[in-house]
């Protein structure tokens, strides 16, 4: 997969608080130090969770049932504020979707903020006497490293998303793929774009996105298409803007379809991951 690396450097997932905390002596000073270190940062959960309340113990184990979701839509959180209350650290966070955008010659990753608020609770060990133990607890919840590492580890392509021909659907893409495979998700799971014996996925939950700001009048033959991978569980992964002229309306579309659910594609009666392109008519001006 070809994309610019320089953007990723700017959105590195910071987990370590570095030297920000030396000896937090009371709740107020601890809260300030945590906000100085985390406020505005993008954090990646070790286990993607689509729930609106995320509660963990000091070992990083979820205290509530995990609502499964892919990391691209359920694994990234932007911290808005941190509170310290009794023996709990509370993160007020906004969910962020990581997506891909087609440019002239390649794909580049970008982040889509949402209005989905998630409250994340971490319960430090009651006997935690120093900041190292606190940081150790938090490191069991979040992934270290960068989004660059996450992207490179989650997708290896034989054919770029950018090869999709918007007017001819996926015909052009399918024509030069070996066995209909366009790439591999983490764990070497093949992603099909076609091929014989493939039953395509079907949406089972596909709400139409809101368009709060009507787009400018466009030609009737204008194409509004977004792409995504539907994995073996019917979840949307790696949503992608396929139109180089994509604007706010397409981004709204992408944010919506990232939460769609599907009956997954099947090949030889087994569920498989597949790439789909989704076209939508924009509302009138």
Q: What are the tens digits of pLDDT across the range 149-184?
A: 888 788 887 665 555 554 444 555 555 567 788 889
* DSSP sequence for 153-215: HHEEESS-GGG--STTTTHHHHTT-GGGEEEEETTTEEEES--TTEEPPEEEE-PPPP-SSPP
* Rounded-to-integer distance, Cα 229 and Cα 189, Å: 12
Nearest to 167 by CA among 277, 283, 2, 284: 277
Can you read off the two tokens belonging to residue 81? 């504020």
- Is the pLDDT assigned to residue 205 strictly greater than 70? yes
Query: What does DSSP say about strands 265-267 and 198-199: parallel, antiparallel, or unpaired?
Result: antiparallel
Helix, strand and coil content of the chain, in percent to the nearest 5, comes to: 20, 35, 45
Top pLDDT among 96 and 31 is at 96
- Is the pLDDT assigned to residue 4 strictly greater than 60? no
With vertex at residue 221, the alpha carbon angle to CA 215 and CA 224, rounded to the nearest 5 degrees, is: 50
Can you read off the two tokens belonging to residue 18? 């570095």
Name the burial class of residue 73, with classes exposed (0-12), middle (13-18) and buried (19+) by CB atoms within 10 angstroms of its CB.
Answer: buried
Q: Which residues, in sequence order, are CB contacts of 94 under 8 Å at separation 6+?
A: 77, 78, 80, 113, 114, 115, 116, 117, 118
Nearest to 81 by CA among 91, 71, 72: 91
* Rounded-to-integer distance, Cα 183 and Cα 1, Å: 9
pLDDT in tens, 123-146: 775 555 566 777 778 888 998 877
* Rounded-to-integer distance, Cα 8 and Cα 159, Å: 22
For residue 222, name the pLDDT band (cuts at 50, 70, 90).
Answer: low
State the pLDDT at residue 207. Answer: 87
* Rounded-to-integer distance, Cα 183 and Cα 193, Å: 9
State the pLDDT at residue 31. Answer: 86
State the pLDDT at residue 132. Answer: 72
Q: Are 151 and 122 in contact (CB under 8 A)?
A: no
State the pLDDT at residue 249. Answer: 82
């Amino acid at each position: 997969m070809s994309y610019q690396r320089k953007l990723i450097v700017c959105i590195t997932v910071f987990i370590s608080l570095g030297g920000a905390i030396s000896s937090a002596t009371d709740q107020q000073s601890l809260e300030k130090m945590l906000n100085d270190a985390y406020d505005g940062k993008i954090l990646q959960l070790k286990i993607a969770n689509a729930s609106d309340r995320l509660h963990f113990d000091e070992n990083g184990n979820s205290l509530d049932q995990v609502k499964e979701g892919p990391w691209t839509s359920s694994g990234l959180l932007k911290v808005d504020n941190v509170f310290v209350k009794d023996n709990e650290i509370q993160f007020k966070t906004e969910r962020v979707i990581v997506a891909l955008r087609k440019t002239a010659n390649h794909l580049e990753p970008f982040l889509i903020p949402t209005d989905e608020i998630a409250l994340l609770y971490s319960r430090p060990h009651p006997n935690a006497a120093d900041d190292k133990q606190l940081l150790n607890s938090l490191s069991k919840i979040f992934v270290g490293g960068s989004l660059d590492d996450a992207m490179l580890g989650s997708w290896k392509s034989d054919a770029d998303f950018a090869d999709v021909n918007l007017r001819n659907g996926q015909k052009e893409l399918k024509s030069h793929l070996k066995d209909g495979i366009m790439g591999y998700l983490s764990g070497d799971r093949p992603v099909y774009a076609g091929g014989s014996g493939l039953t395509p996925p079907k949406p089972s939950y596909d709400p139409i996105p809101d368009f709060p700001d009507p787009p400018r009048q466009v030609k009737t033959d204008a194409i509004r298409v977004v792409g995504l991978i539907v994995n073996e569980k019917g979840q949307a992964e790696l949503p992608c803007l396929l139109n180089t002229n994509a604007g706010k309306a397409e981004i709204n579309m992408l944010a919506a379809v990232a939460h769609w659910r599907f009956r997954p594609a099947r090949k030889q009666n087994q569920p498989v991951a597949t790439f789909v392109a989704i076209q939508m008519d924009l509302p009138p001006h």
